[in-house]
Amino acid sequence: MARHLITSAIPYINGIKHLGNLVGSQLPADVYARYLRARGHEVLFLCATDEHGTPAELAAAKAGKPVAEYCAEMWAVQRDLAEGFGLSFDHFGRSSSPQNHRLTQHFAGVLADNGLIREVTEKQMYSPADGRFLPDRYIEGTCPNCGFDSARGDQCDNCTKQLDPVDLIDPRSTISGSTELELRETTHLYLRQSAMRDRLEKWIDTREGWPVLTTSIAKKWLTDGDGLQDRGITRDLDWGIPVKRGTEDWPGMEGKVFYVWFDAPVEYIACAQEWVDTGKGDDWERWWRTDKGAADVRYTQFMGKDNVPFHTLSFPATILGSGEPWKLVDYIKSFNYLNYDGGQFSTSRGRGVFMDQALALLPADYWRWWLLSHVPETSDAEFTWESFQSGVNKDLADVLGNFVSRVTKFCRSKFGDTLPEGGEDIPVEADALAEFEAKLRAYEAAMEAVEIRRAATALRALWVWGNEYLQSAAPWSTIKEDEAKAAGQIRFALNLIRVYAVLSTPFIPMTSARMLSALNTLDTDWPDNLSAALTALPAGHAFSVPDNLFRKITDEEREDWQARFAGTRD
């Protein structure tokens, strides 16, 4: 069995995330991690909160709390919501951890020793109205390349062009809205990405099978305009990791902190150290150091397309530039955006469904299924309440839920609370069983290729096969003429429920656990040997009829929710 390291883009600390954030990294990463564990692989699945920078300071000020206290509280909120959605992180860390402080300062030191950091005295935007230098993302204006009127000071989200605040047309502070900005002199550290360009391009060319979205964004940043630019890695802020050269002070950098985009990816490694230091693991180096065994690890990252440049270029520049034997990512699974009901999710305007609100409406598996079966892999996708209602009612309630209910209730009414004796163990034609196995292998192939949407389609096809079998076998009719044959049919169908529970765990883990509980089994073996899997529960094995697995969403509920989440959070 292989070893798999999985990380999802770490969510920012300033508030509860909406469903678009969830489906863009954490949720598909969880599906892949659960699948690999089910197949017997060793998995380390890591995530954390991204806690530094101006947004955290402003959110804390708005909440009337010290920034450290605010971040600690929001970390707990995000951890609890992740657990509520069944995200199976091996550790959920914090970029403000002592481990990340030490490791970020270490990387800065070795990069400087290798000649890859330079000091730059420059003029940066200062807002007298706000009384502070404005970080790139707190300056907006019109993009000089495409004319997008909400481009940020570091990047245009419309054309993805890397920018500098002074490039923007009509810049303004996003904090106060003030346009009275002035340039003031300050000194900062820059990572010499330009010196790493050829190495980065050669490294990217060695990555196999990356999604087109990932490679196209990386190549664009490498070749557009003057090519890959050096990037500032420090900021004039109070909250963050103090600038040090390893463990030593850095003359001239007093009172400055590392830029959040420098320290946040380092948290992936620090998170593994936290995993060990909290007693959950025993050896982080075998996952991250190629001289300690990590050369055998396959490392997969999950993220939205806006994070791709930093994970294909800036973070690899840090790792490669260090000259140390750190594990580099093997595969980056990037996603487009999930839009909301004719527009966009908006945190600032409270438009859309947020994670806490979703769990207050319905159990997590309802949301997991719809989001994963509509994950924006090849293009932007859109959440609509009509589509959500249809997905829940037709896929979960009518197909899977209906099958489990009909089989268990029929068996209890006709044969009692144990699997009945008699009939064939696998009462289906060889061709029909081969069709099921082909569908199963198609599901596995999609999961191995990290094609989540295709895997969801394949899983649903397996559920449909069971309903078609039940309709064809019609044990409610068979029992009138041949009770033994009907017993074999229903025993087979109950075993099929166990197989469905195992196969469905990556997508709907809580429901799968309920199915296994109803079948009174802890057998979660993957059906590599299909015949053995479909006879795993013998005659005489006790079971119970579960409560309705999924309830249908009514038209009245759909209309109410659509109105409720149109623009303001409760």
Strands (E), 110-224: 117-127, 132-133, 139-142, 151-152, 169-173, 182-191
126 & 226 share domain: yes
Output b/e per residue, 314-348; b: 16+ Cβ within 10 A: bbbbbbbbbeeebbebbbbbbbbbbbbbeebbebe
Per-position DSSP letters for 359-382, written without gaps between them: HHHS-HHHHHHHHHHT--SSS-EE
- Residue 34: which residues within 8 A CB-CB, separation 6 or more? 88, 505, 506, 509
62 & 196 share domain: yes
- Taking each helix axis from N to C end, the angle separating 452-473 and 430-448, rounded to the nearest 10 degrees, works out to 160
pLDDT at 350: 76
Residue 271, marked binder = no
Question: What does residue 39 show for φ and ψ, rounded to 5 degrees?
Answer: -85, 5
Residue 146, marked binder = yes
User: 24, exposed or middle or buried, with CB in 10 Å at 0-12, 13-18, 19+?
Assistant: buried
Question: Is 364 part of any domain?
Answer: no
Return the CATH number at 458: 1.10.730.10
pLDDT at 570: 45
421 & 528 share domain: yes
Alpha carbon distance 489, 414 (integer Å): 13
Question: Is 113 part of any domain?
Answer: yes
Domain end point (choices 335, 350, 369): 335
Alpha carbon distance 32, 350 (integer Å): 30
10 & 89 share domain: yes
Q: What is the pLDDT along the chain (570 residues), one digit of tens a residue?
A: 899 999 999 999 998 999 999 999 999 999 999 999 999 999 999 999 999 988 898 899 889 999 999 999 999 999 999 999 999 999 999 999 999 999 999 999 999 999 999 999 988 889 999 888 887 778 999 999 999 998 988 888 888 787 888 889 999 998 899 999 999 999 999 999 999 999 999 999 998 889 999 999 999 989 886 678 999 999 988 899 999 999 999 999 999 999 999 999 999 999 999 999 999 999 999 999 999 999 999 999 999 999 999 999 999 999 999 999 999 999 999 999 999 998 888 876 778 999 999 999 999 999 999 999 999 999 999 999 999 999 999 999 999 999 999 999 999 999 999 999 999 999 999 999 999 999 999 999 999 999 999 999 999 999 999 999 999 999 999 999 999 999 999 999 999 999 999 999 999 999 999 999 999 999 999 999 999 999 999 999 999 999 999 999 999 999 999 999 987 554
Strands (E), 54-173: 91-94, 117-127, 132-133, 139-142, 151-152, 169-173
Alpha carbon distance 56, 15 (integer Å): 9
Q: Which domain holds residue 286?
A: 3-134+181-335
**Are 48 and 10 within 8 A, CB to CB?**
yes
513 & 408 share domain: yes
Question: Is 482 part of any domain?
Answer: yes
Question: Is 344 part of any domain?
Answer: no
Return the CATH number at 95: 3.40.50.620
With H, G, I as helix, E, B as strand and everything else as coil, classify residue 296.
helix
Residue 156, marked binder = yes
Residue 159, marked binder = yes
Token couple for 63: 């909440």
- Is beta strand 182-191 parallel, antiparallel or unpaired with respect to 117-127? antiparallel
CA-derived radius of gyration, the chain: 27
Region of 290 (left: φ > 0; alpha: ψ -120 to 50; beta: rest) is: alpha
Question: Is 511 part of any domain?
Answer: yes
Alpha carbon distance 89, 30 (integer Å): 8
The total number of structural domains in the chain stands at 2
Residue 143, marked binder = yes
pLDDT at 273: 98
188 & 107 share domain: yes
Q: Which amino acid is at 495?
A: N
492 & 428 share domain: yes
Question: Is 170 part of any domain?
Answer: no
Question: Is 188 part of any domain?
Answer: yes
527 & 417 share domain: yes
**Are 191 and 231 within 8 A, CB to CB?**
yes
- Taking each helix axis from N to C end, the angle separating 402-415 and 452-473, rounded to the nearest 10 degrees, works out to 30
pTM above 0.85, yes or no: yes
pLDDT at 569: 52
pLDDT at 136: 78
Question: Is 434 part of any domain?
Answer: yes
pLDDT at 29: 98
pLDDT at 252: 94
321 & 391 share domain: no
Closest CA to 100 of 268, 279, 293, 334: 268
Alpha carbon distance 438, 432 (integer Å): 10
**Are 130 and 178 within 8 A, CB to CB?**
yes
Half-sphere exposure (Cβ direction) of 200: Cα atoms closer than 13 Å: 28
Token couple for 265: 């990816």
444 & 302 share domain: no
388 & 320 share domain: no
117 & 23 share domain: yes
